[in-house]
Amino acid sequence: MSEAGSGPPGPSGLQRAVRTYLDHLVVERGLADNTLSSYRRDLRRYVGFLAGQGIHDPTAVEEAVVTAFLRALREGDADHPPLSAGSAARTVVAVRGFHRFALREGLSTVDPSAAVRPPAPARRLPKALPLSDIERILEAAGAPGTALALRDRALLEVLYGTGARISEAVGLDVDDLDLDGTDGTAQGTVLLRGKGGKERVVPIGSFACEAVSAYLVRGRPELAGVGTGVAALFLNARGGRLSRQSAWTVLTRAADRAGVVAEVSPHTLRHSFATHLLDGGADVRVVQELLGHASVTTTQVYTLVTVDSLREVYATAHPRARA
């Protein structure tokens, strides 16, 4: 008969707590398999890190240890490459969820992760296209002169001319347009419905007005003739409302035909709209209203994009800018 304790050691208190938490995620939270696999992988790495610190029980974990784990994620080691801010943040979310669970279930007396914040991902600056690329894309969209080409040109002119989100553009109805300025303004306007159903009226310039007018007269009636009379402004080949995916395809095909090699998406036109306005001297709060941003902080990221133009003006205008 073998002596007691001669077999392999059982799981530590920390490992048992993690297993209980993962079971909770499956039974109580019903997480998807892929999400659960991510949690399992992240917590396995966390348990391994703690074991390397000589910690095998959730009650022994302190805030400094969780912070050190976050630092290790970002720096990497012999077995793991450094993680991006986004990947490290995902791992920290799993760790914080585990410690909140352990405290709630009485498996620990404190939550050492409560004050540890996931790293903020690096803020990616919007990429605006130069005006020459925008013009080439717009010309390429309307080249064939068919009903669909007229629609495509009108769609892209509206996207760039108003800074509308793709969902806002395809959600437009004909009645949302005022191309003649009948509301008392000197130019046309368009009613956009943004996030949370918030509405805003945005001016629409002469180029977009002309493109939309041409589409309404010579293109939309042909497309509407095969449909069921929907109110949508932009119609597909079957007479129904154009989808976001189809609108995206319209832009990418026009960019390909124009020979624009930069990555282009509907948001690229929105970024370009905002950047070109600011480069032209528009006030950031006016751009905020046009874009439908709830906070000016969101819009201010575009002011960073224009720093190159600021440097150019400074270099040419300031008497002590150059030797």
Q: What residues are annotated to the active site?
A: 165, 195, 267, 270, 293, 302
Please state whether beta strands 199-204 and 188-193 pair in parallel, antiparallel, or not at all (unpaired).
antiparallel
Distance CA 155, CA 27 (A): 47
Q: Quick check: 223 and 235 in contact, CB under 8 A?
A: yes
SS3 26: helix
Extended beta strands in the chain, E state:
177-178, 188-193, 199-204
Q: Nearest to residue 95, comparing CAs of 160, 146, 31, 47?
A: 47
Q: What is the DSSP-derived secondary structure letter of residue 271?
A: H
What is the phi-psi region of residue 65: left when phi exceeds 0, alpha when psi lies from -120 to 50, beta otherwise? alpha
Burial 231-269, CB ≥16 within 10 A → b, else e: ebbbbbeebebbeeeebbebbeebbeebebeeebebebb
Distance CA 220, CA 206 (A): 19
Distance CA 269, CA 264 (A): 8
Distance CA 157, CA 206 (A): 10
Distance CA 73, CA 80 (A): 8
- Supply angle C-alpha 124, 168, 224, rounded to 5: 140
Q: Long-range contact list for 240-247, CB < 8 A, 24+ apart?
A: 241/170, 242/151, 242/155, 242/170, 243/170, 244/166, 244/167, 244/170, 247/155, 247/166, 247/169, 247/170
